[in-house]
Amino acid sequence: MKRLASSIIGGIAGTVALNILHQAVKKFDHDAPRVDLVGEEAMTKGLEKAGIAAPTGDKLFMITMAADLISNAAYYSMIGTGKRKQLPYIGAITGLVAGVGALTLTKPVGLNDEPVTRTVKTKILTVAWYTFGGLVAGSVIKVLRK
């Protein structure tokens, strides 16, 4: 499969895996990261800064989820620039960087970091889940390039 197509499909696969994990576990684990809440806050602040009234409730959630899927898919798609044999490793490292970024960049950009830093377990899960998404993306890209 062509490099660009496999990269995009892999990026989407990693993003979908990440978001399914986030949405499923938050329903039964109080310590689960709530990146969705950080995203909703970012979306609200961004829209308000642009002079646009931010939606609320389910509409805010859906818009935020769409933006999250697009941005994470684009980010994970960059894994495809690596060599085929190394793609899962590049994916894991790319995801690790995203997870650490979620922990360390939230507060400096003016967002509440509590949903991802609430407990040590929350912090570990945040990094682990982004790493998982990257690993899925890298693995899918590798398989598609056979």
Count the domains in the chain: 1
What was the pLDDT predicted at 61? 96
Here the tokens at position 61 are: 């959630």
CA distance 8 to 116: 27
pLDDT in tens, 2-11: 989 999 999 9
pLDDT interval class at 146 (50, 70, 90):
confident
pLDDT in tens, 1-54: 798 999 999 999 999 999 999 999 999 999 999 999 999 999 999 999 999 999
Here the tokens at position 81 are: 């620039």
Q: Please spell the DSSP secondary structure of 45-75, one letter per residue.
A: HHHHHTT-PPP-HHHHHHHHHHHHHHHHHHH
- Tell me the pLDDT of the chain averaged across its residues: 96
Q: Helices marked H in the chain — which ranges?
A: 3-25, 35-49, 57-77, 87-104, 114-117, 120-144
The mean pLDDT of 78-84, rounded to a whole number, is 94
Domain hosting 33: range is: 3-144
CA distance 105 to 122: 16
pLDDT in tens, 52-77: 999 999 999 999 999 999 999 999 99
pLDDT in tens, 105-141: 999 999 999 999 999 999 999 999 999 999 999 999 9
